[in-house]
């Protein structure tokens, strides 16, 4: 009896070790701060499908959209830090929320712990088929010849796509007029009909129209060329230094989540991201997988905050 009591006392002093032995012992929840069907939701569900068998537990997708991802992010940040709740969300988008929402009830740097990057989606510069611009240089020349006349679309003021357009303007030294929409589905008809001059937007919705020749892509905003459109130069190659943006995906945990749980998820997701069928499935959505250490994700988030803060400041962009 004394030996058993001593063993129980010893185990109580090493909760991390006990957690590691038992974890995970119940279903895990992935909070997605977007509605079903979008890029983040697709990534979360695709990842959960492959990850669940490896962990031996179901993974429940909990969609909590609204208020620019703040509803879902707040819910995740305030969840018990027990290793059973995680946030699947953007990296750059979270940085922008931090900079543009003045009354946040959370600070991602303080209230959420990085687990791993998951991947990136390509943002492309797209113009109507009728556009005179056949290259980024020609588009910039057209804009400089008629300051303020050319228009660029976004899926909402102050969000990633808007700020990517502003970053393009600043790097090119041009003046263009921003036209906000409520999403890509509203942008497409005006772009196809030439009522809007360009969009720097997430690639998948545009691919059918690029393949049919109804739209033309001039470049991508990635650091490297897209596997889907390898013939397209990057904006960096086109002479626009620093114009890098992506729809990106990562996993975060509530601050205080046991390190062994974070390490386990990081390791298992890293293995899942190497699966050929998962990579192919996400590639069809324009998403290239890319894992990371928690430390690298933290550094990336801080870099994104600094990058978008400069764009907002230099463009005198009004936030919330």
At residue 19, the pLDDT reads 47
Does the pLDDT at position 111 exceed 90? yes
Q: Provide mean pLDDT across the span 199-210.
A: 92
Residue 100 tokens, joined? 């543009």
- Does residue 8 surpass a pLDDT of 70? no
In residues, how long is the chain?
320
Name the β-bridge partners of 249. Answer: 119
Instruction: Give start-end residues of each CATH 3.40.190.10 domain in the chain.
Output: 123-220
Per-residue pLDDT for 115 more than 80? Answer: yes
What residues contact residue 25 under an 8 Å CB cut-off, 6+ apart?
57
- pLDDT, mean of residues 179-202: 94
What whole-number distance in Å separates Cα of residue 43 and Cα of residue 102? 29
Residue with more model confidence, 272 or 66: 272
Q: Where in the chain is the domain with CATH 3.40.190.150?
A: 29-120+246-314
Please check whether residue 30 is in contact with residue 88, taking contact to mean a CB–CB distance below 8 angstroms.
Answer: yes
Beta bridge partners of 295: none
Q: Helices then strands (H, E): number in the chain?
A: 13, 11
pLDDT value for 7: 46
d(CA 184, CA 204): 10
pLDDT, position 284: 86
Phi and psi torsions of 176, nearest 5°: -130, 160
pLDDT value, residue 16: 44
Q: Tell me the pLDDT tens digit for each residue of 73-102.
A: 999 999 999 999 999 999 999 999 999 998
What pLDDT shows up at residue 25?
A: 97
Helix axis angle for 92-100 and 70-77, nearest 10°, is 100
pLDDT digits (tens, 9 = 90+) for 24-52: 999 999 999 999 988 899 999 999 999 99
- For residues 149, 155, 158, 164, the Cα torsion angle rounded to the nearest 10 degrees is -70
In terms of pLDDT, which residue wins out, 319 or 144? 144
Which residues on adjacent β-strands are paired with residue 220?
124, 234
Give the model's pLDDT for residue 94.
95
Question: Which architecture, in CATH terms, is 123-220?
Answer: 3-Layer(aba) Sandwich (3.40)
pTM, rounded to two decimals = 0.88
- Residue 204 — very low, low, confident or very high, per pLDDT cuts 50/70/90? confident
**Which pLDDT score is estimated for 102?**
87
The span from the CA of 127 to the CA of 118, in Å, is 29
Residue 265 near residue 82, CB atoms below 8 Å: no
Residue-level pLDDT at 286 = 85
With 0-12 / 13-18 / 19 or more C-beta atoms within 10 angstroms meaning exposed / middle / buried, residue 212 is exposed
Residue 68 predicted with pLDDT over 80: yes
If we measure between CA atoms, which residue out of 116, 98, 115 comes closest to residue 107? 98
Question: In the numeric block, which tokens belong to residue 93?
Answer: 């988008």
Q: Is the pLDDT of residue 58 over 90?
A: yes
Mean pLDDT score across all residues of the chain: 92
For residue 318, count other CB atoms closer than 10 A to its CB.
9
Give the C-alpha separation, 204 to 207, whole Å.
Answer: 5
Which residue's entry shows tokens 């263009």? 176
H or E element that contains 198: strand 198-202
Mean pLDDT of 295-309: 97
With bands split at pLDDT 50, 70 and 90, how would you rate the model's confidence at 180?
A: very high
Q: Please report the pLDDT score of residue 18 as a whole number.
A: 39
Query: 303's torsion region: left (phi>0), alpha (psi -120 to 50) or beta?
Result: alpha
CA–CA dist 113, 227 (Å, integer)? 31
Beta bridge partners of 123: 202
Question: Spelled out in words, what is the top-level CATH class assigned to the domain 29-120+246-314?
Answer: alpha beta
């Amino acid at each position: 009896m004394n030996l058993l009591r001593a063993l129980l006392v010893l185990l109580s002093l090493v909760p991390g070790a006990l957690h590691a032995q038992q974890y995970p012992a119940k279903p895990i929840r992935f909070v997605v701060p977007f509605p079903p069907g979008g890029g983040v939701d697709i990534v979360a569900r695709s990842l959960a499908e492959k990850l669940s068998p490896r962990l031996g537990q179901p993974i429940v997708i909990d969609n909590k959209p609204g208020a620019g991802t703040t509803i879902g992010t707040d819910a995740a940040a305030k969840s018990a830090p027990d290793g059973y709740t995680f946030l699947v969300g953007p990296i750059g988008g979270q940085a922008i929320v931090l900079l543009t929402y003045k009354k946040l009830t959370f600070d991602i740097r303080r209230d959420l712990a990085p687990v791993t990057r998951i991947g990136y989606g390509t943002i492309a510069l797209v113009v109507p088929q009728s556009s005179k611009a056949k290259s980024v240089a020609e588009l910039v020349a057209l804009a400089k010849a008629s300051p303020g006349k050319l228009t660029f679309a976004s899926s909402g003021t102050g969000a990633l796509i808007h700020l990517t357009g502003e970053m393009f303007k600043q790097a090119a030294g041009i003046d263009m007029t921003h036209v906000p929409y409520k999403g890509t589905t509203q942008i497409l008809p005006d772009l196809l009909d030439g009522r809007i001059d360009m969009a720097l937007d997430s690639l998948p919705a545009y691919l059918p129209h690029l393949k049919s020749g109804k739209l033309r892509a001039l470049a991508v905003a990635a650091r490297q060329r897209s596997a889907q459109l390898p013939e397209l130069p990057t904006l960096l190659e086109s002479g626009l230094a620093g114009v890098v943006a992506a729809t990106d995906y990562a996993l975060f945990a509530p601050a205080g989540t046991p390190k062994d749980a974070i390490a386990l998820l990081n390791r298992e997701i890293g293995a899942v991201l190497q699966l050929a069928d998962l990579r192919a499935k996400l590639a069809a959505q324009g998403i290239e997988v890319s894992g990371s250490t928690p430390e690298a994700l933290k550094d990336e988030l801080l870099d994104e905050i600094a990058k978008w803060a400069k764009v907002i400041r230099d463009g005198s962009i009004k936030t919330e």
